[in-house]
Structure 1
Amino acid sequence: MRTAFKVIVEWINVKAQAGSAFLKGIIMFLFAIVVFARASYQLFTGATPEVVLMSTVGVVALLANLFCLLLLTRHRKDNLNMSSVWLCSRNDIIANTSVLVAAGLIFLTHSPLPDLAIGLLLTFIFAKSAGQVLSQSWKEMRQA
């Protein structure tokens, strides 16, 4: 009886982790859409982002996300859920670094084009990561 109960609990745990990772994948994909929409908006309005605000928020967010990634790194292969959380943190660091690069390029060129280029790059990275998480979590949900 204990073995059957243990199997049921493990099955529920795998389902919950896969479901949580699937939800994170959807959120990551929605974030990719938002970044693309913002980059498109920037393209059509031609507005140059505020460099000081971009830099300040970028540095604070980068420091926070580096700390989180450091804490998560040793657990990234524990299960699908931890892997997807680590992937989100890694993407956040890529985004923070990219925002800082864009801010520097905007400062030098006085053009909104670096922001647009970074936005399109981040759209690709977030969509690709979302696809990986959605695919893996869907597979685990079906197998459980």
Structure 2
Amino acid sequence: MGNTCCGPDEAGASTNDPTWRRILWIALGLNAIMFGVEIVAGIAADSRALQADALDFLGDAANYAISLGVAGMALVWRARAALVKAATMLAFGLWVLGSAIWGFFVGASPDPGTMGAIGSLALAVNLAVAAILFRYRSGDANMRSVWICSRNDAIGNIAVLAAAIGVFGTGRAWPDLVVASIMAGLAVWGSAEVSKQARGELRST
């Protein structure tokens, strides 16, 4: 489980808090916008790391929408929603891993300038979202899954910037592909964390 696990009443009050809902709407909007920006830039720059991060933004926007939908419901429903989100995180991770492996075989020519610029913008957005979600990092599985998504996104953006530097310095695509693989690992790890806590909450109900 996470650091602490709120009981049903405490967690229910938190997830139905107007401030919590407002934060999720802000996070949802920012993630939807960044998906559009990054998917276009990722395709134009031939960067699988940027494309993977764009899909992560899309997945997060969907996850925030699910969290808004179950806010205030009984703990069992929030835990079930968290399991759905864990499954999407796992699917994203496996897709990114497959894309990176494919890139190693077919080759790629990512543009480090675009990677650096868009990666910096994405990092700023994810740090802002992570900051406003920080107080909810130790809530129930549903709340914790939102925090984990934002935390992983910020880490992934730092990795994208490192990949941009690596591509620029080496003139090769492998740093971009390695970072895409790391992002896949983060998604799988986050999925396992959320799933473990959600299953524990379901057993306690």
TM-score by length of 2: 0.62
**Alpha-carbon distance in 1 for matches of 2:198, 2:190:** 12
- Tell me the residue number matched to 1:17: 78
Q: Give aligned-pair identity as a percent.
A: 33
1:43 aligned to 76, 86, 104, which one?
Answer: 104
- Tell me the residue number matched to 1:4: none
1:26 aligned to 79, 87, 91, which one?
Answer: 87
**Alpha-carbon distance in 1 for matches of 2:160, 2:200:** 34
1:22 to partner: Cα distance: 1.0
Q: Deviations over 1:68-120 (max 9, x none)?
A: 10001111112221111100000001111101100111011011111122122
1:123 to partner: Cα distance: 1.8
**Alpha-carbon distance in 2 for matches of 1:82, 1:136:** 11
**Alpha-carbon distance in 2 for matches of 1:56, 1:38:** 22
Higher Rg = 1
- Tell me the residue number matched to 2:116: 55
1:61 to partner: Cα distance: 1.1
Alignment partner of 1:139 is 2:200: yes
Gap regions ≥5 residues in structure 1: 1-6
Task: Output the aligned Cα RMSD.
Answer: 1.8
**Relative contact order, higher structure (CA 8 A, sep 6+):** 1
Alignment partner of 1:104 is 2:165: yes
TM-score by length of 1: 0.86
- List structure 1 segments (4+ residues) > 6 angstroms apart after TM superposition: none
